Amino acid sequence: MQLHYELEDIKEIDFMAFIPFILPFIVIGSLLVFIALMDLFRHRKVRKNLPIWTMIIIFINIIGPILYFVLGRKDSESF
């Protein structure tokens, strides 16, 4: 068993074979970001901290939209 790999060994890996496994995560993550941003800007008059939630949704890819749906939507319930 080889413990250390060189650059030539990495060049031999077929990265196109990983696309069927990675693509669903990319699609679901993009869809979550899109839906969260739509909801955030649709209700921007009642949401608190709009710029902060926008940055969280965009820069924390999959966890950001989930945090928004769990925590951020509760901001408007107090009004």
- Is residue 53 a part of any domain in this protein? yes
- Is residue 25 a part of any domain in this protein? no
Q: What is the mean pLDDT of residues 40-46?
A: 89
> What is the C-alpha to C-alpha distance for residues 32 and 57, in angstroms, rounded to an integer?
9
Residue 23: pLDDT over 80:
yes
- Is residue 34 a part of any domain in this protein? no
Q: What is the mean pLDDT of residues 18-25?
A: 91
Domain total of the chain:
1
> Where in the sequence is the domain holding 58, given as residue range(s)?
45-79
Which pLDDT value is given to residue 79?
47
- Is residue 70 a part of any domain in this protein? yes
Tokens encoding 72: 């951020």
> What is the C-alpha to C-alpha distance for residues 8 and 6, in angstroms, rounded to an integer?
5
- SS3 for 43-71 is CCCCCCCHHHHHHHHHHCCCHHHHHHHHC
Model pTM? 0.70
Number of Cβ atoms within 10 Å of the Cβ of 37: 16
Express each pLDDT in 55-77 by its tens digit. 999 998 889 998 888 888 775 55
